């Protein structure tokens, strides 16, 4: 009977040192070397069908003018008062990453940037 625990002990030792079961230090080393940049880049390219679409209502404040951003159709202004109907902006998100769309609630025009870097509504 004394041989049975010794055999059992040898079996446990061989299993714990087996390459199929990494040691604790090997597991932590593997976790430290993980790079998710490629996964994030791939996920942000396409729309995400798994996540639910989020709509939030915001007002964007301009420090330069001291007023709120307004979407007045194709024209964008930074002269809106707090609570102005044209200063209410819907921020839509439906992707994995940080891609958002900003739309004027009243006009349904999106806040865009032209090739010169000027804000326009489309």
Is 117 domain-assigned?
yes
Structure letter (DSSP) for residue 7: H
User: Is 29 within the bounds of a domain?
Assistant: no
Count the residues in the chain. Answer: 122
For residue 84, being part of any structural domain is answered with: yes
On whether residue 66 sits in a domain, the answer given is yes
pLDDT at position 93: 82
pLDDT number for residue 5: 58
How many Cα neighbours within 13 Å face the side chain of 3?
0
User: Is residue 115, in this structure, part of any structural domain at all?
Assistant: yes
Nearest to 59 by CA among 67, 51, 49, 50: 67
User: What's the token pair of residue 67?
Assistant: 């007023």
CATH of the domain at 76: 2.80.10.50
- Mean pLDDT, each 10-residue run in order, the chain (122 residues): 53 49 53 67 66 84 94 94 94 75 94 92 94
Into how many domains does the chain fold?
1
Residue 83 belongs to some domain of the structure: yes
What residues make up the domain containing 63? 52-121
Res 102: pLDDT: 93
pTM to 2 decimal places: 0.57
Inside any domain, residue 31: no
Does some domain include residue 88? yes
């Amino acid at each position: 009977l004394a041989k049975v625990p010794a055999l059992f002990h040898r079996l446990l030792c061989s299993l714990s040192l087996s390459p199929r079961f990494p040691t604790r230090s090997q597991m932590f080393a593997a976790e430290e070397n993980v790079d998710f940049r490629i996964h994030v880049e791939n996920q942000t390219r396409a729309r995400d069908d798994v996540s639910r679409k989020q709509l939030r209502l915001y007002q964007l404040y301009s420090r330069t003018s001291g007023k709120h951003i307004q979407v007045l159709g194709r024209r964008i202004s930074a002269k809106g008062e707090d609570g102005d109907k044209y200063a209410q902006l819907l921020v839509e998100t439906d992707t994995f990453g940080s891609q958002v769309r900003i739309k004027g609630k009243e006009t349904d025009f999106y806040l865009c940037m032209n090739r010169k870097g000027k804000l326009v509504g489309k």
